[in-house]
Chains A and B, each alone.
Chain A
Amino acid sequence: MRENNGFRKFSISSVWLWIGVFALVPNLALFLVSFLDRGEVDYFIPAFTLDNYLRLLDPAFVNIFLKSMYLAGVSTLSCLLIGYPFAYLMAGAGKRIRPWLMLLVVIPFWTNSLIRTYALVIILKNQGLINKLMLSLGLAEGSFSLMYNDIAVFVGLTYTLLPFMILPLYASIEKLDRRLLDAAQDLGASPLRSFWHVTLPLTLPGIVAGCILVFLPALGTFYIPEILGGAKVMLLGSFIKNQFLVARDWPLGASASMIMTGILIFMALVYRLVNRQADGSAQAGQNAGAA
């Protein structure tokens, strides 16, 4: 077809080289270390073991794992419940106002999550803004802190990760062919029914993509529970961090991180599946409309 010139070879090989050396090899190394023994001097020694995975069955870790899944799960759910109607309204807004609405979501998306977490501290802390507000309204007495509990962590995760849910939802809702909804209505479907049978299945890829972008960072972003939950709320991210920096047990940290990689792969496969189904049914709907 085209000449196989040097530039083509150069670009393909340099891209592959970078991804290969600095993304694939490190992840492979992480996978391998999760099967290695912990050394006396070195962080890991070349001796195969399944011990690191067996140690994850320890009740102390199981508790951390369950609590992490629970907090990440409810935060993801609340982002979805707040974000879906939001993205839907945004996609239905006028053409001229829409880029501005979008910009207002993109700004917090790119703002440092650490700074956004810190911003919450001012509001939730002892003598913080909510405290002051309730005092002046006569709803509370004295000073109190809303931090250092699960709810603070949940609020923090929802607050920092909400834009990561809204953007993929918006992308998939905007693509939705609204004529399909008109068709459903013409055929006598109630709004609820057409939402359940048309809108929801067609925007499922956006929902799954949003859940990936919220759930995994909710598990891994260790500073959010550390700052808002204090020492009481230990989640998966902090556990992994501690293995690498405090306990110096890299193989255990590596095996714990494999849980996140496993969830990532699982969710990516689910995404592929729902994406294909949504593409298929959107196509079918359009073909039926054309016929």
Chain B
Amino acid sequence: MKTRFPYAYLWLVYAFLYIPILVVIIFSFNNARFSTDWHGFTLKWYELLFKNQPLIDAAYNSLKVAVCSASLATVMGSLAALCIHRYKFAGKKILHGCIYMLTISPDIVMGIALLIFFVSINIELGFTTLLIAHVTLAMPFVTLTILARLAAFNENLIEAARDLGASEVKSFLYVLLPLTAPAVAAGWLLSFTLSLDDVLISFFVTGPSFEILPLKIYSMVRLGVKPDINALSAIMFSLTLIIVILAQLLASPKKKYRQKD
């Protein structure tokens, strides 16, 4: 009995975290427009979503930005992790500090800072500005994910490759990259999620000509509860669920390449 009690507390908090989401998912199948009573199972709210052309267009735009920004953020984030882990250079500590600060910097501040920047240099707000903003948002998370994995690796592997005559590029491509590939993939997935879910930054840096899904949801949610938003939320949650589980599986270091203690 004594050991059961603490677990009860854990499950209570989990219930707090998950019940609202589960309620949304359950009601997305409810055959009633307004009521919170159960009126039978239906898929009509999902059908309604797929017939909503502006929403489909926004979803397509979001996916486009998410794929492009995740890919670019992964490249930049990996390079940053490599620089911090492997090279000595002037301002390295400052760079590392900047990357940390970016992860804790409030989204709204990043959003308005980028808005001022884009307006000052006269870029039209739309795909390009969203892409730049999302790369800047996601890149530090990629870097930290990869650095965490690199910290567990045996440094001698790279030294060995260098001693055997591999160039810097080759030792990166054939030793470091394969060893960190799972963390790099996890970084891509997390960047993808960040981009697909971001409301605060996108709100400021996209224009009326380029609509994206999270902002569509924002304008729908402000009008109140509707069953098709339940369905859309359920889809978005399931997508996050799959991506996060994949990323977790990839990011946890395997014992094989671990540095000996």
Interface residues, chain A, CB within 8 Å of chain B?
Answer: 1-3, 5, 7-8, 11-12, 14-16, 18-19, 22-27, 29-30, 33, 43, 82, 85-86, 89-90, 92-93, 99, 101-108, 110-123, 125, 127-129, 132, 159, 162-163, 212-213, 216-217, 219-223, 226-227, 237, 240-241, 244, 250, 253-254, 257, 260-261, 264, 268
Given contact pairs A24-B98, A86-B13, enumerate 13 new A-B contacts (beta carbons under 8 Å).
A16-B95, A18-B76, A23-B102, A26-B110, A26-B113, A29-B120, A110-B190, A111-B236, A114-B217, A117-B221, A118-B229, A250-B116, A254-B112
Pick from A26, A103, A123, A129: contact of B245, CB under 8 Å = A103
Pick from A111, A125, A162, A257: contact of B237, CB under 8 Å = A111
A19 touches B99 (CB 8 A): yes
Bound: A270/B110 CA distance, A: 22
Residues on A with C-beta less than 8 A from B236 are 111-112, 115
From known contacts A112-B236, A122-B23, infer whether A30 and B109 are also in contact, taking CB-CB under 8 Å.
yes
A257 touches B139 (CB 8 A): no
Q: 1/0 per residue B50-87: CB within 8 Å of A?
A: 00000000000000000000000000100110110001
Contact count band on B = 35 or more
Q: Measured between C-beta atoms, what is the minimum distance from A103 to chain B in Å?
A: 6
Is residue B174 contacting chain A, with contact meaning CB distance below 8 A? no
Is residue B204 contacting chain A, with contact meaning CB distance below 8 A? yes
Q: List 29 A-B contacts (CB under 8 A).
A: A1-B88, A15-B95, A18-B135, A22-B132, A25-B117, A26-B113, A26-B116, A29-B113, A29-B120, A82-B13, A89-B10, A99-B248, A102-B248, A103-B245, A107-B245, A111-B21, A113-B197, A114-B197, A116-B20, A119-B21, A121-B225, A162-B17, A213-B104, A216-B104, A219-B106, A220-B109, A222-B200, A223-B218, A223-B221
B20 touches A212 (CB 8 A): no
Q: Which of B41-49, B149-157, B165-173, B177-185 contacts A (4 or more CB under 8 A)?
A: B165-173
Is residue B114 contacting chain A, with contact meaning CB distance below 8 A? yes
Residues on A with C-beta less than 8 A from B209 are none
Pick from A1, A29, A222, A241: contact of B116, CB under 8 Å = A29
Sorted from nearest, which 7 A-B pairs have the closest CB atoms?
A: A119-B20, A26-B113, A26-B117, A220-B108, A112-B197, A30-B113, A220-B106
Bound: A59/B105 CA distance, A: 28
Q: Measured between C-beta atoms, what is the minimum distance from B103 to chain A in Å?
A: 9
From known contacts A103-B248, A241-B108, infer whether A125 and B113 are also in contact, taking CB-CB under 8 Å.
no
Is residue B199 contacting chain A, with contact meaning CB distance below 8 A? yes
From known contacts A12-B87, A27-B113, infer whether A114 and B95 are also in contact, taking CB-CB under 8 Å.
no
Q: Measured between C-beta atoms, what is the minimum distance from A232 to chain B in Å?
A: 15
Residues on A with C-beta less than 8 A from B222 are 226-227
B116 touches A33 (CB 8 A): yes
Pick from B21, B82, B104, B197: contact of A264, CB under 8 Å = B104
A99 touches B252 (CB 8 A): yes
Q: Measured between C-beta atoms, what is the minimum distance from A26 to chain B in Å?
A: 4
Bound: A227/B219 CA distance, A: 11
B168 touches A125 (CB 8 A): no
Bound: A254/B119 CA distance, A: 14
From known contacts A122-B24, A122-B36, A237-B108, infer whether A5 and B10 are also in contact, taking CB-CB under 8 Å.
no
Query: Chain B binding site: helix, strand, loop or mixed by DSSP?
Result: helix
Interface residues, chain B, CB within 8 Å of chain A?
Answer: 6-7, 9-10, 13-14, 16-21, 23-24, 27, 35-37, 76, 79-80, 82-83, 87-89, 91, 95, 98-102, 104-110, 112-117, 119-120, 132-133, 135-136, 139, 167-169, 172, 190, 193, 196-197, 199-200, 203-204, 214, 217-218, 221-222, 224-225, 229-230, 233, 236-237, 240-241, 243-245, 248, 252
Tell me the nearest residue of chain B to A226, going by C-beta. Answer: B222
Residues on B with C-beta less than 8 A from A163 are 17
A86 touches B225 (CB 8 A): no
From known contacts A101-B10, A118-B229, A226-B222, infer whether A217 and B107 are also in contact, taking CB-CB under 8 Å.
yes
Query: Chain A binding site: helix, strand, loop or mixed by DSSP?
Result: helix
Q: Measured between C-beta atoms, what is the minimum distance from B148 to chain A in Å?
A: 10
B20 touches A11 (CB 8 A): no
B136 touches A18 (CB 8 A): yes
B172 touches A7 (CB 8 A): yes
Pick from B99, B169, B240: contact of A107, CB under 8 Å = B240
Q: Measured between C-beta atoms, what is the minimum distance from B6 to chain A in Å?
A: 5
A240 touches B79 (CB 8 A): no
B9 touches A86 (CB 8 A): yes
Bound: A105/B18 CA distance, A: 10
Bound: A106/B197 CA distance, A: 15
